[in-house]
Amino acid sequence: MTGPAGAPGRGPSPGRSAPPGLHLLMEGYLDGDARAFAALHAALLPRLTAFLVHLVRDSAAADDLVQATWLKAHLARSRFQVQGASPDGAVQAWYFTIARNLAVDHLRAQVRERRRRDPGEPDGGERDRLAEIPSDLPTAEELEIGEAEAQEIASRVRDALAQLPAGQREIVELHKFQGLSMAEIAARLRIREGAVRVRAHRAYKALARWLTPSLRALLLLLARGGA
Amino acid sequence: MTAVDAKSLIAGDLAERRRERLQHFRPAWLLAAAIPLVGLLATGARDDLWAQPAWILALQAFVWGLALFALPALGLGLWFPGRAARIALGLVAAVVAVLVAAGPALFDMSYPTGMEDHPIYQIGCASLTLAAGALVLAICAVSGAFVQRRRSAGALWLAAAIALVGIVTTTWHCVITGLDHTLPSHLGAGVLMLLLAGLVGAALHRRQRGP
């Protein structure tokens, strides 16, 4: 697929010039201007959608990933800094980096899920797609996105966590704060992975009552994507 | 396919943050608005307050509106006019500050001065301008008002509001209208307050949010 940007066959790429004025919209959004955010959303949505559809080759999954990209970027927005010579390009790179990381997590989760279900089956092309993912974007570490997102989630979730039963709280802490997968948590706690997933599901459902709608939606999307 | 609409969720989140910000700053705003009122009650309003020309009374009312509503809303990130509107607002604020501080004597040198000027009155008016501004500045600093905007330029809107509060409080107190008195002790002190508040605001912004 060739998206509206980038070289043929590579799909939409953040390497193309960003729409002018993006950084002004971003500045307004970071100050809390809802109109600036709406304009930023309108300017970047088609590019992000095309980029993610190209990466995961599944429009439904790409739609989920687009929503998760906006929500993750929203949670980490306090860390956004203009880097490089082009302020507009920095805004675009910020969103595309988050989108790329989500796509990588999604494809890796698909590989793991396929292996778990059918150990003998070849993968469905996810490895090829992973290899095609562009590497000309800054890493999440360079943009400090992962750290900011984790801090924001941690600060909001910590208060709610205190109200969970100990067994559920332990799983959420291992999953969200220590970054363990469900399988790793199951191995550490010496219980079945299914039991871990059930407890995690109950915990996130309970947490949802105390969290903001945007964070709730992000957790739902991440749980759905297996990230 | 997805039932999640990130755009509306984020818009809702931003609206919620705005409500929280409004709620957080309401007590500070009430206190800041009470300072000129208390100052005028304590020192007394000028005898000819209502005898001033209608246009200068209208301008003074406009400056109160700028100082207590428009500029703080901009500085606190509660109102986001476009770039052209912000530039126009900044220019208008500067022009009306000069007009209100100088008063009708700017256009009519024979305008009654009410009282003969004296250095002690100049010191008194400059002190009132600086004191009213300093109290509002302290409230802004304590409440975290200077760090609400991402850029330190946001602090300048609050500094302008603080300077205008000082100028218009003194204008409503002082009956002396000669330019020899009003330009240094009303407008001059207001400009000094603007610089002081701007520096304090920028320093607080830098300390709490980084360069």
pLDDT at A33: 94
Query: Closest Cα of chain B to A190: distance in Å?
Result: 34
High-pLDDT (> 70) share of chain B, %: 95
Contacts of B4 in chain A (CB under 8 A): 64, 67, 71, 217, 220-221
- Residue A151, domain member (yes or no): no
CB contact under 8 A, A70 and B6: yes
Number of C-beta neighbours around residue A38 at 10 A: 17
CA distance A112 to B196: 61
Q: Give A25-71 pLDDT, tens digit per residue.
A: 999 999 999 999 999 999 999 999 999 999 988 899 999 999 999 99
Q: Give B71-128 pLDDT, tens digit per residue.
A: 999 999 999 999 899 999 999 999 999 999 998 888 877 766 666 667 778 899 999 9
CA A227 to each of CA A59, A107, A137: distance values in angstroms, whole numbers, following the listed order: 18, 9, 20
CB contact under 8 A, B21 and A32: yes
Query: Comparing C-alpha atoms, which of A83, A76, A64, A41 is closest to residue A217?
Result: A64
pLDDT at A8: 35
- Whichever domain contains A38, its CATH number is 1.10.1740.10
**How many domains is chain A partitioned into structurally?**
1
Q: What domain range includes position A95? A: 1-143
pLDDT at A32: 93
CA distance A32 to B15: 8
Identity of the residue in B14, B16, B154 whose CB atom sits nearest the CB atom of A37: B14
- Residue A86, domain member (yes or no): yes
CA distance B156 to B74: 10
Residue with tokens 């009650």: B41
Name the closest residue on chain B to residue A34, using Cα atoms: B11
Contacts of A98 in chain B (CB under 8 A): none
Query: Closest Cα of chain B to A187: distance in Å?
Result: 32
Residue with tokens 């606190």: B76
CA distance B49 to A65: 64
Contacts of A69 in chain B (CB under 8 A): 6
Is the C-alpha dihedral spanning A83, A86, A88, A90 positive or negative? negative
Q: Give B139-184 pLDDT, tens digit per residue.
A: 999 999 999 998 888 899 999 999 999 999 999 999 888 888 999 9
CB contact under 8 A, B150 and A221: no
ipTM: 0.84
Q: For chain A, list residues with pLDDT below 70.
A: 1-16, 120-127, 129, 131-154, 156-157, 210, 223-227
High-pLDDT (> 90) share of chain B, %: 69
- Residue A77, domain member (yes or no): yes
pLDDT at A141: 60
DSSP for A154-223?
HHHHHHHHTTS-HHHHHHHIIIIIS---HHHHHHHHTS-HHHHHHHHHHHHHHHHTTS-HHHHHHHHHHH
Our separate counts of H helices and E strands in chain A read 11, 0
Interface contact A157, partner B, CB < 8 A: no
Name the residue with higher pLDDT: B2 or B25. Answer: B25
Residues of chain A by 3-state class (helix, strand, coil), percent to 5: 70, 0, 30
- Residue A180, domain member (yes or no): no
- Residue A165, domain member (yes or no): no
Q: Judging by beta carbons within 10 Å of its beta carbon (0-12, 13-18, 19+), is residue B206 exposed, middle or buried?
A: middle
* Amino acid, res. B87: I
Please report which confidence band the pLDDT of residue B1 belongs to, taking 50, 70 and 90 as the band edges.
Answer: low
Token digits of residue B36 = 């000129």
Contacts of A30 in chain B (CB under 8 A): 150
Is the C-alpha dihedral spanning B79, B82, B85, B91 positive or negative? positive
Query: Closest Cα of chain B to A189: distance in Å?
Result: 33
CB contact under 8 A, B2 and A34: no
pLDDT at B211: 57
Can you give the residue ranges of every domain in chain B? Answer: 16-209
CB contact under 8 A, B15 and A34: yes
Token digits of residue B119 = 């250095």
pLDDT at A123: 62
- Residue A84, domain member (yes or no): yes
- Residue A88, domain member (yes or no): yes
Scan residues 64-123 of A and list those with Cβ closer than 8 Å to B.
Answer: 64, 66-71, 74
Name the residue with higher pLDDT: A225 or B67. Answer: B67
Structural contact between residues A182 and A193, judged by C-beta atoms closer than 8 angstroms: yes
pLDDT exceeds 60 at position B129? yes
Averaged pLDDT for residues B125-133:
95
- Residue A87, domain member (yes or no): yes
